[in-house]
Structure 1
Amino acid sequence: MKAVLGDTVIAEASKDDLISIEGNWYFPPSSVKAGFLSASPTPYTCPWKGECQYFSVSDGDTVLQDRAWSYPTPYPSGIARVGKDFSDYVAFWKDVKVVD
């Protein structure tokens, strides 16, 4: 599967390597291409997943604030709920299309 902004592939991995959480596909950190995400200072803590790290997504021409996120150290109960460790996996908001 691919996470695509315009014509730029931001992340790419086998569907078997992704984790689906609440309708969002989370890509393994190693599948996210360098240079397209920059950490955002926007704070958020999910009551069951833990502290979130937001990212701005850029393809060089377009910069979309807070359109990607991850959980660097999810709560153990969140990992148990998902059934897999999703530490640092990255999900994208709808502006970044996730396609097969």
Structure 2
Amino acid sequence: MKAIWNGTVVAQRDDTVVVESNLYFPRESIVSEYFSDSSKSTQCPWKGEARYFSITVSGKTNEDAAWYYPNPKEAAKNIEGRIAFWRGVAVTE
């Protein structure tokens, strides 16, 4: 699986986990130079607090385009250390 934004592969890995129709990539699969911490956070009743990354490729930034759960609740432990994408980031095989 690949996560692609602005024509560039920003993450690639075969061992993704699907939760609520979102593919979660292992953190070590991302190309870290494209990612920067965001101040955004949200709450999920069963997964816990989500934190976000913005993605910058070739001078173009996609704000809050990736999220992860740094300390997921017990029901979501299978996505600990994993990152999912949205906001125009294409996830393909």
What is the Cα deviation at residue 24 of structure 1? 0.8
TM-score by length of 2: 0.93
Q: Distance in 2 between matches of 1:74 and 1:90?
A: 12
Q: Distance in 2 between matches of 1:52 and 1:61?
A: 26
Q: Distance in 2 between matches of 1:56 and 1:45?
A: 18
What is the Cα deviation at residue 78 of structure 1? 2.6
Please give the secondary structure, in 2, of the residue aligned with 1:52. strand
Q: Distance in 1 between matches of 2:47 and 2:74?
A: 8
Return structure 1 stretches of 4+ with deviation > 3 angstroms: none
Q: Alignment length, in residue pairs?
A: 93
The answer for the alignment partner of 2:89 in structure 1 is: 96
Would you say the 8 A contact 2:46–2:76 is kept in 1? yes
The answer for the alignment partner of 2:11 in structure 1 is: 11
Please give the secondary structure, in 2, of the residue aligned with 1:27. strand
Unmatched runs of 5 consecutive residues or more in structure 1: 80-84
The answer for the alignment partner of 2:64 in structure 1 is: 66
Q: Distance in 1 between matches of 2:27 and 2:54?
A: 15
The aligned runs of 1:46-61 (5 Å cut-off) are 46-61=44-59
Paired letter, 2:85: F
TM-score by length of 1: 0.87
What is the aligned counterpart of 2:80 among 77, 84, 87? 87
The answer for the alignment partner of 2:28 in structure 1 is: 30
How well do the aligned residues superpose, as a CA RMSD in angstroms? 1.1
